[in-house]
């Protein structure tokens, strides 16, 4: 199979942009990506894979054609990929496969979402469709409620402290404060976060990610031609994906995301690496407890020690595995369909030494993206060439 390289990435600003269209956001990400490479023409793109839940804004269908028009690549094969919050990670996965197989030499993978141009009631309805509707949502469960169940069970089983769960928010806001693309560029204190309005105990408003508009893109190619466009290609060395039951009540444990565990093990095996080799990571912290679970599911620490991992500063820059140096979903933002590739964008920046919170000497990074409450997961391991 062909070896695959990322030659560039781009991202729009994340936030609330009622005056911008899907096309505006994706074009912004695309223009940044093309600004980092040379000798590149849009006509060289052979296929596009676009992740989007099509959240309920101005364009509910045929998203791929809309985006192809936005970046002037009409005529090529293009498809929208939907897998809840993991949509663009799966789009990226399929783009990689298309190059590995020899079908394409150059492909793009990205995502876009508009979450702020519909009513609050509609936003809540659309956000909930990524979970179990029949037995959870129609019974009154919400995503904050589901993740609150995970948090309380983790606290019960392992003695995890609420303070340590919330430290994830404090850390990620501190990194987002230096990220010009982030939705929330303000630092917070642990006291502020602990005493914020309660959403679903033990999760306060600062433990929950925002609703976000935004877009992201990665330009991939056959590794044999990567140096034509950049001196700093980043190689896709490991991939893994998995699924689990949609509803929490059907799972064996509330403190493990089995889909992420399966995905991470497959990615490590493909890359011929171990968790100890990862030097920087972006993980899916839609709620702060999700980051704690990701530490454990990706093997950065033992099961039940996620709270201790952050308490000791191991997920900080300078720690064992710096996590969410872009601000994470919590502070950078979570435009559902764009989130997966936006995580890859942050890892790409780290490995090409472009990051505002640079990890010195980072050569290997991991991006961890889940859908819903963990019913789907995709993990990618990237390595600097």
Catalytic residue among 36, 334, 368, 380: 334
Catalytic residue among 9, 36, 85, 298: 85
How far apart are alpha carbons 326 and 335 in whole angstroms? Answer: 14
Sign, CA dihedral 91-96-102-107, equals: positive
Whose tokens are 């269209």? That residue is: 21
Catalytic residue list contains 286: no
Query: Which tokens is 101 given?
Result: 């197989």
User: Could you give the 3-state DSSP secondary structure of residue 203?
Assistant: strand
HSE-CB of 178 using CA atoms within 13 angstroms: 12
The DSSP string of 82-105 is -BTBTHHHHHHHHHHHHHHTTS-S
Whose tokens are 């059907």? That residue is: 250
User: Could you give the 3-state DSSP secondary structure of residue 362?
Assistant: coil
**Residues 6+ positions from 330 with CB-CB distance below 8 Å:** 168, 169, 172, 173, 176, 207, 208, 209, 285, 286, 288, 291, 324
How far apart are alpha carbons 10 and 346 in whole angstroms? Answer: 9
What residues does 51 pair with on adjacent strands? Answer: 81, 111
Asked if residues 85 and 369 have their Cβ atoms less than 8 Å apart, the reply is yes
- Indicate the DSSP class of residue 332: I
Catalytic residue list contains 284: no
Asked if residues 71 and 50 have their Cβ atoms less than 8 Å apart, the reply is no
Q: How many CB atoms lie within 10 A of CB 26?
A: 29
**Residues 6+ positions from 254 with CB-CB distance below 8 Å:** 149, 150, 153, 154, 248
How far apart are alpha carbons 129 and 131 in whole angstroms? Answer: 5
Helix (H) or strand (E) holding 269: helix 258-271
In our burial notation (b when 16+ CB lie closer than 10 A, e otherwise), range 41-78 reads eeeebbbbbbbbbbbbbebeeebbbbbbebbebeebeb
Residues catalogued as catalytic: 85, 334
């Amino acid at each position: 199979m062909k070896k695959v390289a990322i030659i560039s990435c781009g991202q729009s600003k994340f936030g609330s942009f009622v005056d911008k269209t899907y096309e505006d956001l994706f074009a912004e990400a695309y223009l940044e990506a093309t600004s980092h490479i040379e000798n590149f023409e849009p006509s060289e793109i052979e296929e596009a894979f676009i992740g989007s839940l099509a959240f309920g804004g101005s364009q509910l269908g045929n998203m791929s054609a809309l985006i192809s028009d936005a970046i002037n690549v009409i005529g090529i094969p293009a498809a929208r990929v939907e897998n809840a919050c993991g949509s663009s990670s799966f789009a990226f996965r399929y783009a990689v496969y298309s190059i590995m197989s020899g079908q394409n030499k150059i492909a793009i993978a990205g995502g876009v979402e508009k979450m702020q141009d519909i009513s609050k009631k509609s936003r809540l309805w659309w956000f909930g469709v990524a979970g179990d509707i029949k037995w959870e949502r129609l019974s009154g469960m919400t995503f904050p409620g589901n993740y609150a169940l995970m948090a309380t069970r983790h606290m019960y089983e392992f003695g995890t402290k609420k303070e340590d769960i919330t430290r994830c928010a404090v850390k990620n806001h501190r990194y987002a404060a230096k990220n010009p693309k982030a939705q929330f560029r303000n630092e917070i204190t642990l006291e502020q976060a602990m005493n914020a309005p309660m959403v679903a105990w033990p999760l306060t408003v600062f433990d929950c990610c925002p609703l976000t508009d935004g877009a992201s893109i990665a330009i991939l190619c056959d590794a044999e031609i990567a140096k034509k466009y950049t001196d700093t290609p980043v190689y896709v060395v490991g991939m893994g994906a998995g699924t689990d039951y949609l509803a929490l009540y059907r799972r064996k444990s509330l403190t493990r995301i089995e889909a992420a565990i399966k995905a991470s093990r497959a990615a490590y095996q493909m890359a011929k690496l171990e968790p100890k080799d990862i030097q920087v990571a972006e993980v899916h912290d839609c709620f702060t407890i999700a980051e704690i679970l990701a530490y454990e599911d990706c093997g950065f620490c033992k099961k039940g020690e996620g709270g201790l991992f952050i308490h000791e500063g191991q997920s900080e820059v300078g720690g064992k595995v710096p996590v969410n140096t872009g601000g994470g979903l919590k502070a950078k933002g979570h435009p559902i369909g764009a989130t997966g590739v936006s995580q890859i964008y942050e890892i790409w920046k780290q490995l090409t030494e472009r990051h505002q919170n640079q990890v010195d000497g980072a050569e290997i990074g991991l991006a961890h993206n889940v859908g819903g409450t963990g019913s789907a997961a995709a993990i990618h391991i990237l390595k600097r060439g």
